[in-house]
Amino acid sequence: MDRLYAQRCIGCHGLTGKGDGPTAAFLPATVPDFRETVQRRSVTQIRNIITKGKGMMPAYGPALSGREIQDMVLMVRFLSQLDRSPKWWERFEPLVWAHCTVPWEVVLGYDDPPEEDKR
């Protein structure tokens, strides 16, 4: 998972997912901070963005397996929690990992509605 993130994501999203990677400053748009992403988007929406791309972010669906895409969803969720206190992690880390690995759209029998195209 770390290797894949380093190869595909770190250039724009940075080491900690704050959108401050070495190429981010040269892009015409701001790269999202994962802490904001997980507050605004569901796990399914994050998976769809990684798979299909959005804005300047390329679609990784053709290049990555389903398992690798799920690993990237876990990485987004993990990096979004880096500024949390150790006490928070002791209490909630197992829940974060368990929540991220459940295919909720299958369990609940539905998928999130498609996002509106804001072009």
Q: What is the pLDDT of residues 17-49, one digit of tens each?
A: 899 999 999 999 999 998 888 888 888 899 999
Whole-angstrom distance, CA of residue 25 vs CA of residue 4: 22
Q: What is the 3-state secondary structure (H, E, C) of 22-66?
A: CCHHHCCCCCCCHHHHHHHCCHHHHHHHHHHCECCECCCCCCCCH
| Residue 24 belongs to some domain of the structure | yes
| Within-domain flag for 82 | yes
How many domains does one find in the chain? 1
Amino acid 61: pLDDT? 93
For 103, the token pair is 């295919």
Give pLDDT tens digits along the chain (119 positions). 678 888 889 899 988 889 999 999 999 999 999 888 888 888 889 999 999 999 989 999 999 998 899 889 888 888 887 776 556 656 666 766 666 666 666 666 655 555 666 65
In a domain, 65, yes or no: yes
Assess if residue 117 is contained within a domain: no
Q: Is residue 35 part of a domain?
A: yes
* Residue 96 resides in a domain: yes
Q: What is the model's pLDDT at position 64?
A: 92
Domain-located, residue 84: yes
Range of the domain at 90: 2-107
pTM: 0.69
Question: What is the CATH classification number for the domain harbouring 10?
Answer: 1.10.760.10
Q: Quote the pLDDT of residue 31.
A: 93
Residue 53: the pLDDT is: 94
Q: Which pLDDT does position 58 carry in this prediction? A: 92
Does 10 reside within a domain? yes
